[in-house]
Amino acid sequence: MTRSRRRKLIAASVLACVCLLCVLLLRPAGKGGKPRAVEIYLNGSLYGTYAWEPGNTVEVRQDGGKVNVIRMTDGGFEMQEATCPNQDCVRQGEVTAENASRRALGNRVICLPNRVEVRLILDENETGIPDA
Residues 42-96: tens digit of each pLDDT: 999 999 999 999 999 999 999 999 999 999 999 999 999 999 999 999 999 999 9
Instruction: Please tell me the total count of domains within the chain.
Output: 1
Closest by CA position to 125, among listed 38, 44, 33, 55:
33
pLDDT of residue 31: 52
The enclosing domain of 83 has a CATH number of: 2.60.320.10
Is 130 within the bounds of a domain?
Answer: no
Is 27 within the bounds of a domain?
Answer: no
Closest by CA position to 132, among listed 20, 41, 11, 36:
20
**What confidence tier does 10 reach under pLDDT thresholds 50, 70, 90?**
confident
pLDDT of residue 32: 59
Domain range for 102 is 35-122
User: Tens digit of pLDDT for each residue in 90-113?
Assistant: 999 999 999 999 999 999 999 999
Predicted TM-score of the model (pTM)? 0.70
pLDDT of residue 132: 44
